[in-house]
Each structure stands twice: as structure tokens, then as C-alpha cells.
Amino acid sequence: MISANPRTRVDLVIVGAGPVGLYGAYYAGARGLSTIVVDSLSQIGGQITAMYPEKLIFDVAGFPAIKGRDLVAGLQAQAAGHDVEYLLGREVQGCVTHADGRHTITTSVGEEIDCGAVVVTGGIGTFTPRKLPAGEDFLGRGLEYFVPDAEPYRGADVVIVGGGDSALDWASMLEPIAGSVTLVHRRSAFRAHQATVDQVMASSVEIVTDAEVTALTGDTELRAAHITHKADGAGREVRCQRVVAALGFLANLGPLRDWELELHDNRHIVVDSAMRTARPGIYAAGDITDYPGKVRLISVGFGEVATAVNNAAVHLDPDAQLFPGHSTDAQPAPVTA
């Protein structure tokens, strides 16, 4: 459930409501742990919900392809039969460890949560999009940094700025329904997966490289993007009603930097094979973690958070078994939509 009046004492706090955090919530429930999941975003799903809910994901075990929003909905349903509470739209701030080993977690809205263990699944931490200097005046009225829903782009002339995975994914997603799609990238080479680049190149998307969008114009609504070629400074105007600036984002660990955790490259939390951090009772899993041989994939994060939760369960009760048994050996909790 999503609550505005949370409990003040639980077994486990999970920091981050992305896919890894949601799977951790299910696994905590399977271990009989009362759990609160905290996230700074107003919806569950983390980056998937905020950035690409309609994008097909191909590397989740058991699904040849699954839309981001469907994956999030399934993970939420999987955890729904357990003792899980969601606190959304607030940031986890302080973490004080007491003499008995329990922790007090504080949030940005003044809540205090007493818990026995913490699992940090905050992805890349909080993230903000890199701005398109030429177009800030049109933000929310033609310019967007994310495409959570493709439908508003139906029939529109769209300019997408960027050369990474998000830019190419959105170009591929919008091409069948938009009136036209123009992709502008400041370099000649793309950072996106080659298969996606090949797909976009074979489509009707117009690709403009070694160029930048230097201005957006219009009156009350966006009418055109002005593109300047870097080699000779030549410019052209492209009619459009919508611009998507997929220029990446700035990640920030925020208050987690003050938790006295060991960090790698000042942006990832160092963990051991049990997903333990440098502080007893605090674990981490998913993209936010680092260790030798780390691979940042959702599928890897699912295994890491299961490891973290099982080790947290033993931390809470040293007499508990680390291995919880196979799920097929127990009657599962009812799954509700």
C-alpha cells in the first residue's frame, strides 16, 4: 500500500522503488519482514517509469520482450501480497545507528523510521536531465526531456536531440506514429546500441549529425527548431511541434554521501559478496553498487537484492537460515493486480 501515515518501526527499509527495490520488497515479504520502501519520485518504477515506460526491455529472464511499465506493474503485483508500504515523493536523508544495532532513517518530510536493516537500491541516486540551453522557455509546451507516453506525439513533427540509447529508443518508438521524426546529434558516431542505431537508420527518421539545435521558436506553441551544422556554421529550420532533448542526466547520491559508506568513483557504493556495505546492517544492490566484475543490468540487480535481503534477514535474526528454501516448497501469497 501507499501511505501518507507510515508506521514508525519496521524490520527493513528499502531505499529506492525501481525494479530492483520492488523485487527486494517481494523478497523481504517472502522472508516475513515488514518493509517500507522510500523513493524521491512520486511513482514507483524509478528510471523506467520516469524515462521509458513504453520501451521494450529484452534482457529480463523469462520475457522475450516486456514494456517497462508492464515490468513495473508485475513487480508491484508480486510484492502486493506481503507487508510492504511505500513512501513516495520524499528523499531519504539521515541514517543513525544506535547501540542496539537498529537504525533511525529520516526523510525530507520529517518522518523518522526505526528499522533493523536497510537495503539501498537507489539506482544511480537522484537524477536530473541535462538541459537544452536553446529551449528552456518551451519546457512543458513543446520541449520535454522524457517520453513517458507516446500518444501525445501522434501525428506531430518531432525533433529528438541526442545520440545515446534514450534518443535512439525514442526515435524508434515514435517513428511509426509521429508525422515526422528528425534526430539531431552533435557527433557523427552514436553511443546507443548498434542494433538500435541500425534500426533507426533503416527507418524514415531523418538523421542530422555533427550539428546542434541552437534555438527553438514559436509564439504560444513551439513551431520550429533551428539546427546549426558545426563544420561550416550553416543553419536550417525544421518545422516541429515537439522536441525531445535526450542529452543524458546528472546523477547525485545526495544525502547518501554522508552515510559513511565506502564509495567508488564517488558515485557507487562498494559492497562485498553478501551485498554488505561498510556499515553493519546496511546493504545495497543494483546499479548503485560496485565490486570487482560488476555488471549493471536489471537481471543482475534482481539477484543482488535477493542476496541482500536474505543476508539482512540473518542480520535481524542470527538464528535464521540464510537460504530461504525454494519458492515452490511454500504456498505463495496471493498475487493481486
Q: Using alpha carbons only, what angle is made at residue 266 by residues 166 and 86, rounded to the nearest 5 degrees?
A: 65
When pLDDT is averaged across residues 117-121 and rounded to a whole number, the result is 97
What residues does 160 pair with on adjacent strands? 183, 244
When pLDDT is averaged across residues 16-43 and rounded to a whole number, the result is 94
Which residue shows C-alpha cell 501507499? 2
Q: Residues comprising the binding site?
A: 39, 47, 52, 92, 127, 287, 328
pLDDT at residue 1, as a whole number: 47
Q: Residues comprising the binding site for FAD?
A: 39, 47, 52, 92, 127, 287, 328
Find out whether 35 and 10 touch, Cβ atoms under 8 Å.
yes
**Mean of pLDDT over the chain:** 91
| pLDDT tens-digit map of 202-226 | 999 999 999 999 999 998 889 999 9
Rounded Cα distance, 100 and 215, in Å: 59
Percent of the chain at pLDDT above 90?
70
pLDDT at residue 330, as a whole number: 66
DSSP output for 30-70: HTT--EEEEESSSSTTHHHHHH-TTSEE--STT-SSEEHHH
Which residue shows C-alpha cell 503485483? 77
Quickly state the pLDDT bin for 27 (edges 50, 70, 90): very high
Give phi and psi for 104, each to the nearest 5: -115, 120
C-alpha separations of 334 from 72, 96, 182, 313 in Å: 18, 36, 47, 22
Rounded Cα distance, 171 and 243, in Å: 11
Order of all β-strands in the sheet with 157-161: 143-144, 242-245, 157-161, 180-184, 206-208
Q: Where are the domains of the chain?
A: 9-127+250-316, 131-247
Q: Is the pTM of this model over 0.85?
A: no
DSSP output for 231-253: TT--EEEEE-SEEEE---EEEE-
pLDDT of 152 above 90: yes
9-127+250-316 CATH choice from 3.30.230.70, 3.40.50.10860, 3.50.50.60, 3.40.462.20: 3.50.50.60
pLDDT of 323 above 80: yes
Rounded Cα distance, 127 and 47, in Å: 9
Give phi and psi for 31, each to the nearest 5: -90, 5
pLDDT of 265 above 50: yes
pLDDT at residue 106, as a whole number: 96
Q: Using alpha carbons only, what angle is made at residue 295 by residues 290 and 313, rounded to the nearest 5 degrees?
A: 60
For residue 228, the number of C-alpha atoms closer than 13 Å in the C-beta half-sphere is 9
Q: Are β-strands 9-15 and 112-120 bridged in parallel, bridged antiparallel, or unpaired?
A: parallel
Angle between helices 194-201 and 165-174 (to 10 degrees): 40
Fold of 131-247: FAD/NAD(P)-binding domain (3.50.50)
End-to-end CA distance of the chain: 12
pLDDT of 249 above 90: no
Find out whether 210 and 188 touch, Cβ atoms under 8 Å.
yes
pLDDT of 147 above 80: yes
DSSP state of 274: T
